[in-house]
Amino acid sequence: MRRFMLIRVEDLTGVSGTGEVAEGTVFSSGLAVIHWLREPYAMGVYQTLEDVISVHGHEGRTQLQFID
């Protein structure tokens, strides 16, 4: 498993804000789980990390930073 943070440089929607907006894990199978750090503190499960970026990348305005 590898842990990561989603860091939003610019929030196109005005919903999640900027800075560290979510934390996540990529499992050895490629499955990725994210947990939002702001209300409503939802979680999402994605088939791949690429799917996470596709949905939440805000057209390149979100960076992925691995913790380990």
Contact at 8 Å (CB) between 57 and 49? Answer: no
Asked if the model's pLDDT at residue 7 lies above 90, the reply is: yes
Tokens of 52: 């996470």
Q: Which residues contact 44 (CB under 8 A, 6 or more apart)?
A: 33, 34, 52
pTM of the complete model beyond 0.75: yes
Q: Which amino acid is at 6?
A: L
Given the structure tokens 């590898």, which residue do they identify? 2
Give 9-59 pLDDT, tens digit per residue. Answer: 877 777 778 899 999 999 999 999 999 999 889 999 999 999 999 998 878
Phi and psi, residue 25, nearest 5°:
-140, 140
Count of structural domains within the chain:
1
Per-residue model confidence (pLDDT) at position 27:
98
Per-residue model confidence (pLDDT) at position 67:
95
Query: Residue 8 sits in which domain range?
Result: 2-66
